[in-house]
Amino acid sequence: MTGDLQTLRNFLLRPRIDLSPWPAERLWLPVSGGDQLAARLHARDRLGERPLVVLIHGLSGCEDSIYIRASARFWLSLGHPVLRLNLRGSQPSRPRCRGHYHGGRSEDPQSALDALVSRERSAARQGLILVGYSLGGNVLIKLLAEAGRRLPVRAAASVSAPIDLEATSERFHAPRNRLYLRWLLTLLKREAVAPPAELSAAERRAIAEARTVREFDDRFIAPRFGFADAGDYYRRCSGLRFLPEVEVPFAALHADDDPWIPDDAYAEAARIANANLRIHVTDGGGHVGFHGQGDPRPWHDRAIEAFVRAAG
């Protein structure tokens, strides 16, 4: 139960994360097909003075997810500018997105960051620190393998990333997770059909009729993005297969009591011969939890900051 309590802590307590000391401005960053990703940029005046920290949310999350706001406050309090980036089709991006994201659509944050660095040239002077949470962490790993050196990335990290999507799907659909499954599927469906999403009648029917997340991936995500089925999508987009190609300092943080993501893929990741990788599996922490007593800052924020400092 400890892992579940860590996972549910923010949902149950709904802590208020005050970011008002660091006013943010709305940015719209272009991606393919005419869509734009919404983002919140805090402390623009610090661009060029300290590395810009970019935070990428997980499945059905957004810039206002509590873990994103908590991390934003952590990094802002250390003097960094922060960008809270929303994926394509998430609630803040949806007004200017007809399309949708998935666990391997790394070209979207890549395009958005390209546009940001081009627009805010001072951001490149001190470089970027990229942090991805849950599914956003998987997207980030693929991005780093494809474009990590082309972008001015100083260091990066993932928190509770499902680096083996097939194994994560199996674990998530276990009977013990049925309440999680029902909750997440409801959010996924609502997000996918929100206007102005561009969907065919068949896609709307597939979304409505999906009874599991795997069915949602098999009947909507896979055909929409050219995968043979959910299994093909999971195989081709799992972060584990991209870790050998990461060419920047990268830390992957995971808890052994995560109720959704099994440990096996992280044990395999730890055996990869890539000096840029640091794989850290803790004895507890749940899924994007890592809450402790005596410090309101989640352990993962403190661990990533220490990793970034060590990486130089």
CA–CA dist 16, 66 (Å, integer): 8
Of 110, 159, 100, the closest CA to residue 134 belongs to: 159
Beta-ladder partners of 42: 24, 82
Q: How far apart are CA 297 and CA 307, in angstroms?
A: 16
Of 172, 212, 173, 209, nearest to 193 by C-alpha is 209
In angstroms, the CA 10 to CA 4 distance is: 11
Question: What is each CA distance from 149 to 77, 153, 253, in whole angstroms?
Answer: 28, 7, 22
Q: Which two tokens stand for residue 282?
A: 């803790």
C-alpha distance from residue 262 to each of 17, 169, 231, 242, 244 (Å) = 30, 10, 17, 18, 20
User: What is the bridge-based pairing of β-strands 128-133 and 52-56?
Assistant: parallel
Is 20 assigned a catalytic role? no
What is the distance between the terminal CA atoms of the chain, rounded to a whole angstrom?
A: 38
**SS3 annotation, 257-303:** CCCCCCCHHHHHHHCCCCCCEEEEEECCCCCCCCCECCECCCHHHHH
Q: Of the listed 102, 258, 291, 301, which one is catalytic? A: 258
Say if CB 217 and CB 233 are below 8 A apart: yes
- From the candidates 287, 291, 300, 301, give the one annotated as an active-site residue: 287
d(CA 32, CA 11): 34
Annotated catalytic residue within 90, 111, 134, 160: 134
Has 280 been annotated as catalytic?
A: no
Q: For this structure, is 134 an active site residue?
A: yes
Show which residues are catalytic. 134, 258, 287
